[in-house]
Structure 1
Amino acid sequence: MAGFALDPEQEQWCERLRALASRRLGPLAGKGEPGRVNRPLLAALGEHGLLERVFSAGALDLCLLRESLAYGCTEAETALALQGLGAHPVLSAGSAAQRERWLPGVREGRTVAAFALSEPGAGSDAAALALAAQPCATGGWRLSGEKRWISNAPEADFYTVFARTGEGPGAKGVSAFLVPADRPGLTGEALDMLSPHAIGALRFDGVPVGPEDLLGEPGHGFRVAMDTLNRFRPSVGAFAVGMARAALDATLAHTAHRTAFGGVLGDLQAVAHRVAEMATRTEAARLLVYAAAGAYDADSGSPDVPRRAAMAKLLATETAQYVVDHAVQLHGAVALQRGHLLEHLYREVRAPRIYEGASEVQRTIIARSLYGQQARPGQHGQQPQPGPAGVAR
């Protein structure tokens, strides 16, 4: 990618993905039951090798994948992203046995993964989670507490669960576990949310886990969570950009042909200027997403990566909300009709401003990173450290 322009091969790949999303995945999504895991859709994503790309692609290619799917079928994009979010900790921090046991099914769309971080009292402040991992005499732990607003719950086949093992205060005392859904003491319920996919609550009543269930080292779970979020946050922005581009293209087609006041809507300066603003914001968000993904691919451990990822998610999700809202306004009542593309996007576009770190959390990450580069007066050169970032997905 030179000068933030895609090369012809990338453009062709994106076009094939948009066509696949519209013609093959969209009909499968339409047959799914709202609020439930759509396993036939997941199987199709696996059949076309797209779930494999979630794990093997760089951050830029992941953004292109999510943006292209979102343009044609938001349900397919979300199903793919949730598989990646739930299973990436297994890929990055799991043992060979864990990867061998679970990842083939995830890649094929047979095994449903979930990322279980958020709790009733720990959404935006994920380091405040309270799910307790009590040590057992056998050398393992028992998990007690609740997770909430977990995508794919309660239907997932396994959960990446973050619990407090107490090696230190705050984030330093959090560990990550791979917990199969059939563990005794683990129950769940579906939540009735403004969402086409499953979101639920999980109850842990002394759920047994052992050293073989750890993802990484004890006390390093928060790092596992943040590494996962840093990888996926720019691509959340790509999801938002895909929705914005779909809304923008629909608006261009509508305003270019809809007659009103002796001409077409696009002849009205107020309309044309609004469309120009929508297009400019969408392109700016898209470029920032690509830049954040490129920074991650260049050096995922760079201290700039969390800030760039936060900027990309913040601008893209806020932009998508703006563009979809104005697209609805320019279409008028027809856009509020059930089944219309914009009615669908209007419902879908709101949640990304909250999950995987709300917009306010992204601003906090950005500000702390910026001020962390400056010595504050009266602190004798000490720099504030970046704080936790929340997730609700």
Structure 2
Amino acid sequence: MSDQSYLNWPFLEAEHRDWAARVEEVAAGLSVDHGDTDQACRALVLDLGAAGLLQATGSADGALDVRKLCLTREILARHDGLADFAFAMQGLGTGAISLFGTEAQRGEWLPKTRTGKAISAFALTEPGTGSDVAANTMTATRDGDHFVLNGEKTWISNGGIADLYTVFARTGEAPGAKGMSAFIVPAATPGLEITERLETIAPHPLATLSFVDCRVPASALIGEAGQGFKIAMSVLDVFRSTVGAAALGFARRALDEALTRVSSRCVQGAPLMDLQMVQGHIADMATDIDAAALLIYRAAWAKDSGAARITREAAMAKLFATDQAQQVIDKAVQLHGGDGVRSGVVVEKLYREIRALRIYEGASDVQRVIIARQTLAAQQG
């Protein structure tokens, strides 16, 4: 089993240690058939819901325990990347509802997503804007007691299998970031279509969505009109830390695999682990993992302790954890030699899984911009 000593760090409490033990038990018992990605995700959502793990993805009072979210993603990712994905999207997809939704919205959707009876998705990215969310062009036009949505979203996780989408569209209250709003759009709403399924190096359900005169009731509006950008950034503040946690889980598994390899593989009559250069790689991997964990659980603890926003802390956690996990996994592949690039070997699968985490929910270079701006603003008072 991977190093568990971090569970005793002061960022975590007894309830988090108990939760981690429960997640470990559930994760160890999961059986994931990767032959059909869509079906695997549907089955995982049901299994995670039945096991009670999806209770951490939302609550009737809007509270989210970010440390539980991070622990769950870290442990699930260490066991299986698709299990982590299935859990994470139930949280991200309903994050806006949990944090900003009305009592009626929470009451309608969270009991379904927290039990695995409905699959959720977060529809923010557009083909022409990518990380520049303020430049999104999809529109939501008021028409009496309805809004009419027109536009396109892409790279939407759970696209094609989701039962509901949290969709961000321009309502025009002001230019740029201040003119967007958030809506709940059930998958069966007329005018919403899946126009393309997207294939990636690590298979996940991803799609491009088209909205053509898609009518939703005014009650589908999350929060207030014009608050969409604020809502999106608040949700990402929470879930960027958890992306780092997933990367941490991948890195821990890579280190475990590397330790097994270097202790059992011999060169010139001695184990690989006796080579000083190999020891150097192991030292770097272990240090990067601990440093990433400190940043992740610092950010999660700050949010759980009442911080209104953790933009800088979450960006640091995601940037460092994902970039360094890539390095840790690369070292693990190198230590496996030819076996490291053999299809189906654990470290080869990890190598494919980690790459996307440095892009989605804000690419690494975007995180650097965020950190720099936050740091400069603090220095200027």
TM-score bracket for the superposition, by shorter chain length: over 0.9
Return 99-108 or 243-252, whichever deviates more. Answer: 99-108
After superposition, give the CA deviation of every residue in 1:328-351 in whole Å (9 maximum; x if it has no partner): 000111122222111111110000
Q: Which of 149, 160, 172 is 1:166 aligned to? A: 172
1:306-317 mapped onto 2 (5 Å cutoff): 306-317=311-322
Give the conservation status (yes or no) of the 8 Å contact 2:23–2:53: no
Q: Which of 41, 46, 52 is 1:38 aligned to? A: 41
Secondary structure of 2:129's counterpart equals: coil
Unaligned runs of 5+ in 1: 376-382, 384-393
**Superposed displacement of residue 7, structure 1:** 6.1
Give the conservation status (yes or no) of the 8 Å contact 1:134–1:141: yes
Q: Which of 344, 347, 350 is 1:345 aligned to? A: 350
Give the TM-score normalised by structure 1. 0.90
**Superposed displacement of residue 158, structure 1:** 0.8
Return 8-17 or 119-128, whichever deviates more. Answer: 8-17
Task: Say whether 1:104 aligns with 2:104.
Answer: no
Q: Structure 1 residues 208, 364: CA separation in 2 closer, same or farther (over 3 Å shift)?
A: same
Return 267-276 or 194-203, whichever deviates more. Answer: 194-203
Match for residue 157 of structure 1? 163
Match for residue 184 of structure 1? 190
Return 181-190 or 306-315, whichever deviates more. Answer: 181-190
Give the conservation status (yes or no) of the 8 Å contact 1:194–1:347: yes
| Structure 1 Cα separation of the partners of residues 377 and 15 of structure 2 | 40
| Structure 1 Cα separation of the partners of residues 15 and 378 of structure 2 | 39
Match for residue 318 of structure 1? 323
Task: Say whether 1:240 aligns with 2:247.
Answer: yes
Task: Say whether 1:284 aligns with 2:291.
Answer: yes
Return 308-317 or 208-217, whichever deviates more. Answer: 208-217
Secondary structure of 1:108's counterpart equals: coil
Match for residue 379 of structure 1? none
| Structure 1 Cα separation of the partners of residues 134 and 106 of structure 2 | 26
| Structure 2 Cα separation of the partners of residues 9 and 30 of structure 1 | 32
Q: Structure 1 residues 105, 7: CA separation in 2 closer, same or farther (over 3 Å shift)?
A: closer
Give the conservation status (yes or no) of the 8 Å contact 2:180–2:226: yes
**Superposed displacement of residue 300, structure 1:** 3.0
Match for residue 68 of structure 2? 61
Q: Which of 263, 267, 273 is 1:266 aligned to? A: 273
| Structure 2 Cα separation of the partners of residues 94 and 37 of structure 1 | 29
Aligned residue type for 2:42: R
Return 55-64 or 7-16, whichever deviates more. Answer: 7-16
**Superposed displacement of residue 236, structure 1:** 0.9
Q: Which of 217, 222, 226 is 2:229 aligned to? A: 222
Match for residue 146 of structure 1? 152
Give the TM-score normalised by structure 2. 0.93
Aligned residue type for 1:241: L
Match for residue 379 of structure 2? 374
Task: Say whether 1:92 aligns with 2:90.
Answer: no
Secondary structure of 1:103's counterpart equals: helix
| Structure 2 Cα separation of the partners of residues 5 and 109 of structure 1 | 29
Match for residue 129 of structure 2? 122
Return 88-97 or 313-322, whichever deviates more. Answer: 88-97
Give the conservation status (yes or no) of the 8 Å contact 1:337–1:343: yes
**Superposed displacement of residue 15, structure 1:** 4.2
Give the conservation status (yes or no) of the 8 Å contact 2:38–2:205: yes
Return 354-363 or 35-44, whichever deviates more. Answer: 35-44
**Superposed displacement of residue 252, structure 1:** 0.9
Q: Which of 204, 207, 229 is 1:200 aligned to? A: 207
| Structure 2 Cα separation of the partners of residues 179 and 37 of structure 1 | 24
Aligned length, in residue pairs: 370
After superposition, give the CA deviation of every residue in 1:216-273 in whole Å (9 maximum; x if it has no partner): 1000011111111111111111110011001001101110121112201000101111
Aligned residue type for 1:361: V
**Superposed displacement of residue 93, structure 1:** 1.6
Task: Say whether 1:74 aligns with 2:81.
Answer: yes
**Superposed displacement of residue 90, structure 1:** 1.3
**Superposed displacement of residue 284, structure 1:** 0.5
**Superposed displacement of residue 102, structure 1:** 1.4
Cα RMSD of the aligned pairs, angstroms, is: 1.8
After superposition, give the CA deviation of every residue in 1:125-184 in whole Å (9 maximum; x if it has no partner): 111111011232x24221111000000002211100000000001110000000011111
Unaligned runs of 5+ in 2: 1-6
Give the conservation status (yes or no) of the 8 Å contact 1:39–1:110: no
**Superposed displacement of residue 31, structure 1:** 4.9
Residue identity over aligned pairs, in percent, reads 47
Q: Structure 1 residues 202, 343: CA separation in 2 closer, same or farther (over 3 Å shift)?
A: same
| Structure 1 Cα separation of the partners of residues 68 and 254 of structure 2 | 22
Match for residue 331 of structure 1? 336
| Structure 2 Cα separation of the partners of residues 270 and 365 of structure 1 | 36
After superposition, give the CA deviation of every residue in 1:48-84 in whole Å (9 maximum; x if it has no partner): 1000122255111221111111111221111000010
After superposition, give the CA deviation of every residue in 1:256-295 in whole Å (9 maximum; x if it has no partner): 1211122010001011111111110111001111111111
Secondary structure of 1:299's counterpart equals: coil
Give the conservation status (yes or no) of the 8 Å contact 2:122–2:156: yes
| Structure 2 Cα separation of the partners of residues 157 and 85 of structure 1 | 14
Give the conservation status (yes or no) of the 8 Å contact 2:121–2:162: yes
Return 31-40 or 341-350, whichever deviates more. Answer: 31-40
